[in-house]
Amino acid sequence: MPAEFLPIFILILVAAAFAVIALVVPFYLGPRNPTPIKRDTYESGKLPFGDARLRVPVHYYMVAMLFLMFDIEVVFLYPWAVIFKQLKLFGLIEMGVFMIILFIGFIYVWKKGALEWD
């Protein structure tokens, strides 16, 4: 194995060990006193009511997709910020254009009322 991959391999091992420990230790060391209330199903801290097979409104998915779309911009901002000094004025202008397009999209979605939760 090449030596430059050794830190990544160690990181994967440490992360896997932490995940296993975080799941196994509470199972064996944690208290067990189940009651009917604790065994009851809940979602997001609320007790379920009605049929579980109801259709979810499309608006829920619209808000989720918009969140992803506007949240992914961070993925593009981080590498730009890392090499900002190398890009100089060209990089600044390109990121300005990207942010303007993103802002126009945000204003469009806002005006269409897609962010309103009725």
Number of Cα atoms under 13 Å in the Cβ half of residue 10: 5
pLDDT 10s digit of each residue in the chain, 118 long? 688 899 999 999 999 999 999 999 999 998 888 888 778 777 666 666 777 677 777 777 888 888 888 888 888 888 898 998 999 999 999 999 999 998 998 899 889 887 777 6
Q: What's the farthest any 2 CA atoms get from each other in the chain?
A: 64
Region of residue 44 (left: phi > 0; alpha: psi -120 to 50; beta: else): left
Angle 28-9-5 from CA coordinates, rounded to 5°: 175
Predicted structure pTM score: 0.49
Ordered domains of the chain (ranges, CATH): 3-112 (1.20.58.1610)
